[in-house]
Every structure is written in C-alpha cells, then in structure tokens.
Amino acid sequence: MGLRIYYGGTFDPVHMGHLAIARAARDQLQVAVRLLPAADPPHRAAPGADAAQRLAMLALAIGDEPGLLLDRRELDRAERTPGVPSYTVDTLRELRAELGPRQPIAWLVGADSLLALPSWHQWASLFDLAHFIVADRPGSPLADTLDPVLAQALDGRWASHERELFNAPAGRLLRLQAPLREESATAVRAQIAAGGPWQSLLPEPVAGYILDHRLYGATPS
C-alpha cells in the first residue's frame, strides 16, 4: 500500500521554507505531499491572513506542480462545526476512518513542531495514527537534550530507511534529508510590516497576492 504524506500548518503566509521541505519529502519518499492549511482559531481574530486568504496563497504557491496537493479538510471541518478548535489528532482520526487502519500515513513537521509535540492535544495518540517525518530547523536541535517525556515517546521509533514508513501504518519517525531553511512566517510578517525586503522569501505569485490584498501591512511601492 502506498504512503500518504500530509503537511499541516498555518501557512500565514506559505514561504519558500515550507515549499522546500514539502518538495524534499516528495522527492525522498517518491509520493505526493498534501498541504493542509489550519482553520482560523475559534473566537479569535485571524492572526494575519484569514483561512480563505491562506488557502488562496497556498494554491498559488503550489500551482500545478506535480506531487504537491492541497487538502482543505480542516477548513471544511471548521465550517461544518463552527467554534470547535481544529486539532491534528482529529484530522488524523478523520483520515484513518477514511483510509482504513492499514494505510500508511505520515505527518510532516519541522523540528520545532516535533519538540513541541507534548503540547499537542492528545499527543500520546498521535503515533498510533501516523508516522512523523521531521525536517531540521535552525534553532531547534533534535540531538541535544530532549524533554524526557518526549525522549521516551520517540525512543525506538527512528527509521533507518524510508521503506519502514511503507511497511507499517503508523508509529515511525523519519529524518528528512534536506538543507536547513531559515524562513519563518513570523519573520516574513515582521519584515513586511517593517518595510524590509521580503519578496524573495516567498513564491512570486504569493508575494503578488500579498501586495494586491495589502496583507500584513504590505504597501505596493
């Protein structure tokens, strides 16, 4: 059975670092990567761009590039159940119900997200539902001392070959082979607001969208 890779994020906005790791996962595992924007948090104003704008920017970033797909299930779920927060564990349960217990599923994250895993809703269930593919990220070393609770949860899960992710439905961890990427959405938003150079951090059509919609305080020159 093939592997399904999902890549969740806020993508506020999607930047070249996101695209680089999605492409690296696609190329290393030789399967499509499905990018899955998070819904807006309930009862709170959208932090930067709203869900529809973040989705539109992702669609522009992906274009018709082979092996990169958009999955809008978290936004659809938020529309069906307004006011209910959207958790990764719920998305993975939805995928399991749809794809069956034997389907190998992997969730792609940056190292900062893996280090924060113990703060995720029902995090202990996540490894029963999916594999994790981890991209290194500046400032989030995976080799140094880990939170002992996390270290215990990760113990024995590291895969030494991609094949291991195809041979089990969930529970393995794979290190993505990809150069470090400095981009972060927080830094992009800060650069835009400060009027510094930012367009090279983003796919060109996304930069155009931000200017057209004057997102994050952007002003066309």
Q: Is residue 33 a contact point for ligand ATP (CB under 6 A)?
A: no
3-class secondary-structure state, position 67: coil
Interacting residue with ligand ATP among 137, 170, 173, 202 (CB under 6 A): 137
Q: Is residue 109 a contact point for ligand ATP (CB under 6 A)?
A: yes
Which one, of 37, 39, 5, lies nearest residue 24 by Cα?
A: 5
- DSSP annotation of 43 reads T
Q: Is residue 17 a contact point for ligand ATP (CB under 6 A)?
A: yes
Q: Is residue 10 a contact point for ligand ATP (CB under 6 A)?
A: yes
Task: Report the half-sphere exposure of 36 (CA within 13 A, side-chain side).
Answer: 23
Alpha helices by DSSP H, listed for 11-147, are: 16-29, 51-62, 73-80, 88-99, 111-115, 126-129
Q: Check: CB of residue 194 under 8 Å from CB of residue 9.
A: no
Q: Where are the beta strands (DSSP E) in 145-216?
A: 173-175
β-sheet with 105-110: strand ranges across: 68-70, 33-37, 4-9, 105-110, 131-135, 173-175
Nearer to ligand ATP, 9 or 203 (CB): 9
Stretch that binds ligand ATP, among 17-25, 74-82, 151-159, 194-202 (CB under 6 A): 17-25
Stretch that binds ligand ATP, among 14-22, 71-79, 94-102, 148-156 (CB under 6 A): 14-22
Interacting residue with ligand ATP among 68, 105, 183, 210 (CB under 6 A): 183
Q: Is residue 9 a contact point for ligand ATP (CB under 6 A)?
A: yes
H or E element that contains 69: strand 68-70
Q: Is residue 112 a contact point for ligand ATP (CB under 6 A)?
A: yes
| Crossing angle of helices 88-99 and 73-80, rounded to 10° | 100
Q: Is residue 71 a contact point for ligand ATP (CB under 6 A)?
A: no
Interacting residue with ligand ATP among 5, 165, 184, 202 (CB under 6 A): 184
Nearer to ligand ATP, 115 or 153 (CB): 115
Cβ-closest position to ligand ATP: 110
Stretch that binds ligand ATP, among 8-16, 88-96, 167-175, 200-208 (CB under 6 A): 8-16
Residues that bind ligand ATP (CB under 6 A): 9-11, 17-18, 21, 109-110, 112-113, 135, 137, 181, 183-186
